Amino acid sequence: MNLTEDLDTAFQLSRKGVTEGAELPMVMVKGTERIIIGLACEDADQRAKVLFGMGVMLSHLKPEHVVFSAIAWCLKQFLRRPSEAPDREEVVLVGWKTREGNGGSRALPFTRVGKESIWGEVMQVEDFESPPLDAFWDGVRLGEAHPELAEEWRRKVGIAVDQPEHPNRKVDKGVNGHAGKANQNLADY
């Protein structure tokens, strides 16, 4: 899968989450494997810390790009905070950053009508910055510079690398059967 396909997948999964009422932000990392992880973080600072740790622990996968998607508010006019503006709209926001530092963001507006959602068209977001995605790449660089540290962190949280199958480990096959291992030993939690 390439970056464009992963962006399409992020939009598909986020739309499905809105439709099913499961709107958990998600991170998709593509390297030697493709991993999709849901995030339950309270704010951007917490996301940056979590993504830094993910970067360290997933550095062995030689990531090529990271994609983040979440439901957000977008202003039609940039005069107020989105939460206070009467002319705001909900969007699926998908941002990405590559190993080389290239990145961007797109937004897919939608309106909730009862239990249904009316979807707009995907639009480019200007001046995209993402401290959490920058933190991910800082973590990758640290993990690659100090693989012993990355291995220690993986052991502490129960992520096994090249470990035989365990009955309590959840393996995510990803979208449409594409690889997306989350080798997390659930017995440790």
pLDDT in tens, the chain (189 residues): 699 999 999 999 999 999 888 888 999 999 999 999 998 888 888 999 999 999 999 999 999 999 999 988 876 655 445 566 666 788 999 999 999 999 999 999 998 888 889 999 998 888 788 899 999 999 999 999 999 999 998 888 887 666 444 444 444 444 333 333 333 332 332
Alpha-carbon span 88 to 77, nearest angstrom:
8
pLDDT at res. 85: 63
Number of C-beta neighbours around residue 49 at 10 A = 14
Tokens of 33: 């494997």
Number of C-beta neighbours around residue 89 at 10 A = 16
Please report the sign of the dihedral spanned by the C-alpha atoms of residue 137, residue 143, residue 146, residue 147.
negative
Beta bridge partners of 38: 26
pLDDT at res. 84: 63
> Long-range contacts: 126-132, Cβ < 8 Å, 24+?
128/95, 128/103, 128/104, 130/68, 130/95, 130/97, 130/103, 130/105, 131/44, 131/48, 132/44, 132/47, 132/48, 132/50, 132/51, 132/68
pLDDT at res. 36: 93
Residue written as tokens 């440790």? Answer: 188
Give me the number of domains the chain comprises. Answer: 1
pLDDT at res. 144: 96
Structural domain of 63: 3-188
CB-CB contact of 107 with 120 (8 Å):
no
pTM of the model: 0.76
